[in-house]
């Protein structure tokens, strides 16, 4: 099968009666649909200047939304921890917890599974706000059963760990996005351990099993935080689309909340 070749022609080379036509520049959709990424000598993807600008705007969106989410969560946790009347009310009315869990579950499935919804403004931000409030309520209620000093200590430890992991993920040349298989296996280990914990702990066969499970969970979601952070960065083998800023924010926010919850199980002191 022959191959077609294109040669550059000057206006004088055109047959008589014909005029040369300059090529029409592609539209934005055509140009972005066929972006070719070139690989450097170290195997990392090298992006064009426009790609880097788009990625910077994407990262700014993600961390702005994440900062707002964490502020809301911190405010609710502090309110439920320091305000004694509210603390006693939410502890005695567990129905609000299960209602917030149902809202959390529905909004999480909607934002995770429905691409059209999480990309549609302003519904994506509205659902993200509802998701944040429901998960913040659940986290605040969990914190209300622990000593105030231990809650503040766990908040500080979580902040330090998340900051160090984020800096590490941005600065290191290690590609954590290639470790999906290891994360999946580790997740299965933690999942099976959780099922075993639900069966064993009521009978009090192994009192320290709860702490071991919390340590495994904290390690797992710390690794997920590094993984999701590098997906947001976009300069590793795998990356998340710059249109998915809602999903990226959701993933990192969940990682941080789970890390705090597991640290609370490890270091927290329950109230009498």
pLDDT tens column, 11-27: 444 444 444 444 555 55
In a domain, 135, yes or no: yes
In a domain, 81, yes or no: yes
* Cα–Cα dist 64/187, whole Å: 29
pLDDT (mean) for 120-136: 91
In a domain, 272, yes or no: no
In a domain, 2, yes or no: no
pLDDT (mean) for 123-129: 91
| Averaged pLDDT of the chain | 78
* Cα–Cα dist 245/207, whole Å: 42
The mean-pLDDT minimum among 72-76, 155-159, 187-191 falls in 187-191
Element (H, E) at 260: helix 245-267
More confident residue, 3 or 266: 266
Give residue 242's pLDDT: 77
Which domain covers residue 147, as residue numbers? 49-267
Residue 53 burial by CB count (10 A; 0-12/13-18/19+): exposed, middle or buried?
exposed
Q: Which of 50-54, 116-120, 126-130, 169-173 has the highest mean pLDDT?
A: 126-130
Percentage, residues of the chain above pLDDT 70: 78
In a domain, 6, yes or no: no
In a domain, 197, yes or no: yes
Q: Minimal CA–CA distance to 174: which of 44, 37, 40, 41?
A: 44
Residue 145 burial by CB count (10 A; 0-12/13-18/19+): exposed, middle or buried?
middle
Residues in the chain: 272
Q: Minimal CA–CA distance to 235: which of 39, 66, 50?
A: 39
| pLDDT tens per residue across span 16-59 | 444 444 455 555 444 444 333 333 334 444 444 456 788 888 88
Number of domains in the chain: 1
Give residue 204's pLDDT: 63
Confidence of residue 272 (pLDDT cuts 50, 70, 90): low
In a domain, 29, yes or no: no
Confidence of residue 202 (pLDDT cuts 50, 70, 90): low
In a domain, 37, yes or no: no
pLDDT (mean) for 226-232: 88
């Amino acid at each position: 099968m022959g191959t077609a070749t294109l040669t550059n022609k000057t206006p004088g080379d055109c047959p008589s009666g014909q005029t040369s036509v300059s090529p029409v520049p592609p539209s934005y959709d055509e140009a972005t649909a066929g972006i070719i990424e070139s690989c450097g000598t170290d195997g990392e993807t090298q992006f064009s200047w426009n790609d880097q600008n788009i990625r910077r705007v994407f990262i700014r969106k993600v961390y702005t939304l994440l900062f707002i989410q964490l502020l809301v969560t911190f405010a609710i946790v502090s309110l439920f921890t320091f305000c004694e009347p509210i603390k006693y009310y939410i502890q005695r009315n567990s129905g609000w917890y299960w209602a917030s869990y149902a809202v959390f579950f529905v909004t999480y499935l909607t934002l995770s599974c429905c691409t059209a919804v999480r990309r549609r403004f302003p519904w994506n931000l509205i659902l993200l706000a509802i998701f944040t409030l429901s998960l913040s309520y659940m986290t605040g209620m969990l914190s209300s059963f622990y000593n105030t000093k231990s809650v503040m200590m766990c908040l500080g430890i979580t902040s330090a760990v998340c900051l160090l992991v984020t800096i590490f993920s941005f600065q290191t040349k290690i590609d954590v996005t290639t470790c999906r298989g290891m994360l999946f296996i580790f997740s299965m280990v933690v999942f099976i351990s959780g099922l075993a914990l639900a069966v064993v702990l009521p009978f009090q066969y192994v009192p320290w099993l709860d702490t071991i499970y919390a340590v495994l969970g904290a390690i797992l979601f710390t690794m997920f935080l590094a993984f999701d952070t590098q997906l947001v960065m976009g300069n590793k083998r795998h990356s998340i689309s710059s249109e998915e800023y809602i999903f990226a924010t959701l993933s990192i926010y969940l990682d941080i909340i789970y890390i705090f919850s597991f640290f609370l199980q490890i270091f927290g002191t329950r109230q009498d």
